[in-house]
Amino acid sequence: MRISVIGCGYLGAVHAACMAALGHQVVGIDVDPDKVDALNAATPSIFEPGLGDALAAELEAGRLRFSTDYADAAEARVHFIAVGTPQRRGEGAADLTYVHAAVEALVPHLRPGAVVVGKSTVPVGTAQLLAERIHADQPDASLVWNPEFLREGVAVADTLHPDRIVYGVPAGDEGDRARAVLDEVYAEALASGTPQVVTDYATAELVKVAANAFLATKISFINAMSEVADAVGADVTHLADAIGHDPRIGRKFLNAGVGFGGGCLPKDIRAFRARAEELGIGDTLGFLREVDAINLRQRDRVVDAIAGALSVNDGDRYFGSDSSTGSLVGRRIAVLGLAFKPESDDIRDSPALDVAVRLKGLGADVVCADPKAIPNARAKHPQLAYASTAEALAGAEAVVLLTEWREYRDLDPAAVAAVASGRIVVDGRNVLDPDAWRAAGWTYRGLGRP
Ligand SMILES: NC(=O)c1ccc[n+]([C@@H]2O[C@H](COP(=O)([O-])OP(=O)(O)OC[C@H]3O[C@@H](n4cnc5c(N)ncnc54)[C@H](O)[C@@H]3O)[C@@H](O)[C@H]2O)c1
């Protein structure tokens, strides 16, 4: 099948490479010429495990190429829309500028029978408007809404082996025809038994935001429990294990820590709330405001934990008037992790980077490390100091783990003690072994862990 993928960022670049890996003939279209050049050279500007190899193999095989010219998409039967839908500046709602621009640019190149497939996460109601726009110019083209559930860090595997495939299709014969075309694209996954849900546009759009709202709620739930645990000296990790054994609850996404971030969950729950307001049912999703607030509060809790721990060791240099928070001015802090999650260089709405910026703003001498995200972080926050993990740890009075990369989880407390100047470790992801660190002489602070 001839396929175009419009928008070649975290989602689109992976999708294009994986569709080619399935044997389709793929052209990726992006407005950013540097991105297109990098993708054509199999050197993507993003870090995603396996993406570079997949690009190299498919470019070499002649099944994949990238272009800035929409005319290069004209021969495709299926066009995936994978452009960004960021949060509107100063508002909760999604910015649909890129989606509308992509469809406008694509429409003149659609041939009869073409199927446009929306993958971007959009507010409910968008697909219907886009379908009308497409029909106005090309009545024989169709739109399917096919939300994407890939997880950064394992995006290649998730794209090749999705855990479900959802289509929102128009009613009647048009929907049947469009579905048959998309079934051909996903033939391999469908043949292997991947669950498929075929529904209407509104439901398909809602599936995606509902899934993200649920995941965000689960994380904020356990983070709220971690605040309760802190208040009473309980251990939220044991609590999560115990309630997670109930299959109705499940253990995944029950790790208390500095909270969720990235280019999806935060903006998606805000956009969902904003859309509910527009629909006159704002109260229904009022709980997502609390989910967001709990999530953002985790960042304060981590900063408080660092400040509190440092004041225990040195009460002389207070910051501000509240002596209970301790002073951070001039204190040397190693920040381990900047990406919003491990195995990614994505720093969009990253809690880790936000904590680093806050610590710097409070006067701390922050040195930040991350295996992959430093270039992105430096471009956004040149005021921060960046270094290798070893350099960040050397002379640090406090160590704060904020992204649970394997190399940080595996740190040897004795080895870190040999190079750091202090013995304070704040585990913003609750992934270190408190007993091991305490045995090596460290003051350990987690979130909701005694
Ligand atoms: N990243 C994820 O893990 C993920 C997962 C599921 C869904 N999504 C959704 O997918 C969409 C894309 O997310 P992303 O993380 O890939 O964003 P991104 O910012 O990494 O990529 C968007 C790309 O679209 C390009 N673009 C913008 N306008 C364009 C236009 N008019 N024509 C062609 N290209 C254009 C940009 O240059 C950029 O390369 C969003 O709606 C997001 O919510 C993302």
Look at residue 311 in the predicted model and tell me its pLDDT: 78
Catalytic residue among 8, 18, 264, 368: 264
Residue nearest to atom 20 of ligand 1 (CA): 9
CATH of domain 209-292: 1.10.1040.10
Please give the C-alpha separations between residue 378 and each of 198, 260, 362, 367, in angstroms, as whole numbers: 43, 21, 19, 12
What confidence category does residue 312 fall into, taking pLDDT thresholds of 50, 70 and 90?
Answer: very low
Are the C-beta atoms of 99 and 64 separated by less than 8 Å?
Answer: no
- Residue 350 CA, ligand 1 centroid: distance in Å: 17
Could you read off the pLDDT of 32-74 as tens digits, one per residue?
999 999 999 999 999 999 999 999 999 999 999 999 999 999 9
The ligand 1 site (C-beta within 6 Å) comprises 6-12, 29-32, 35, 82-85, 98, 101-102, 105, 120-121, 148, 150, 152, 263-264
Ligand 1 atom closest to Cα of 29? 33
Ligand 1 atom closest to Cα of 120? 41
How high does pLDDT run on average in the chain? Answer: 96
- What are the sequence ranges of the domains in the chain? 2-199, 209-292, 298-445
Residue nearest to atom 2 of ligand 1 (CA): 11
Mean pLDDT calculated for residue range 323-330: 68
Residue nearest to atom 19 of ligand 1 (CA): 84
What confidence category does residue 366 fall into, taking pLDDT thresholds of 50, 70 and 90?
Answer: very high
Look at residue 323 in the predicted model and tell me its pLDDT: 43
- Residue 263 CA, ligand 1 centroid: distance in Å: 9
* pLDDT at residue 324 greater than cutoff 70: no
Quick one: 298-445 is in which CATH superfamily? NAD(P)-binding Rossmann-like Domain (3.40.50.720)
* pLDDT at residue 317 greater than cutoff 60: no
* pLDDT at residue 385 greater than cutoff 90: yes
Ligand 1 atom closest to Cα of 105? 31
- Residue 55 CA, ligand 1 centroid: distance in Å: 18
- Residue 99 CA, ligand 1 centroid: distance in Å: 9
- In a mutational test of the pocket of ligand 1, which residue from 4, 5, 11, 349 has the highest number of ligand atoms less than 8 Å from its CB? 11
Of the candidate ranges 295-299, 316-320, 408-412, 431-435, the one whose mean pLDDT is the lowest: 316-320
Output the six-digit token pair for 145. Answer: 């809404």
Look at residue 325 in the predicted model and tell me its pLDDT: 47
Mean pLDDT calculated for residue range 194-206: 98
- Residue 331 CA, ligand 1 centroid: distance in Å: 39
- Residue 7 CA, ligand 1 centroid: distance in Å: 6
Mean pLDDT calculated for residue range 396-401: 98
Look at residue 322 in the predicted model and tell me its pLDDT: 46
User: What are 46-49's contacts with CB under 8 Å, separation 24+?
Assistant: 46/9, 46/10, 46/13, 46/345, 46/346, 47/344, 47/345, 47/372, 47/373, 48/10, 48/13, 48/14, 48/152, 48/153, 48/155, 48/156, 48/344, 49/153, 49/154, 49/156, 49/343
Ligand 1 atom closest to Cα of 264? 43
**What does the alpha-carbon distance between residue 392 and residue 368 come to, in Å, rounded to a whole number?**
6
**What does the alpha-carbon distance between residue 212 and residue 221 come to, in Å, rounded to a whole number?**
14
What confidence category does residue 313 fall into, taking pLDDT thresholds of 50, 70 and 90?
Answer: very low
- Among 3.40.50.2300, 3.40.50.720, 3.40.47.10, 3.80.10.10, what is the CATH number of 2-199? 3.40.50.720
Mean pLDDT calculated for residue range 300-316: 77
Residue nearest to atom 35 of ligand 1 (CA): 7
- In a mutational test of the pocket of ligand 1, which residue from 10, 99, 348, 380 has the highest number of ligand atoms less than 8 Å from its CB? 10
Question: Do the domains at 2-199 and 298-445 have one common CATH topology?
Answer: yes
Residue nearest to atom 43 of ligand 1 (CA): 121
Look at residue 326 in the predicted model and tell me its pLDDT: 52
Look at residue 327 in the predicted model and tell me its pLDDT: 79
* pLDDT at residue 320 greater than cutoff 80: no
Could you read off the pLDDT of 405-447 as tens digits, one per residue?
999 999 999 999 999 999 999 999 999 999 999 999 999 999 9
- Residue 304 CA, ligand 1 centroid: distance in Å: 35
Could you read off the pLDDT of 368-380 as tens digits, one per residue?
999 999 999 999 9
* pLDDT at residue 319 greater than cutoff 50: no
Annotated catalytic, 264? yes
Residue nearest to atom 10 of ligand 1 (CA): 120
Mean pLDDT calculated for residue range 298-325: 67
Output the six-digit token pair for 80. Answer: 């995936």
Q: Who's near 306: CB < 8 A, 6+ residues apart?
A: 328, 333, 359, 398, 400, 424, 426, 445
Of the candidate ranges 90-104, 127-141, 273-287, 325-339, the one whose mean pLDDT is the lowest: 325-339
Mean pLDDT calculated for residue range 292-300: 97
Residue nearest to atom 17 of ligand 1 (CA): 84
* pLDDT at residue 193 greater than cutoff 50: yes
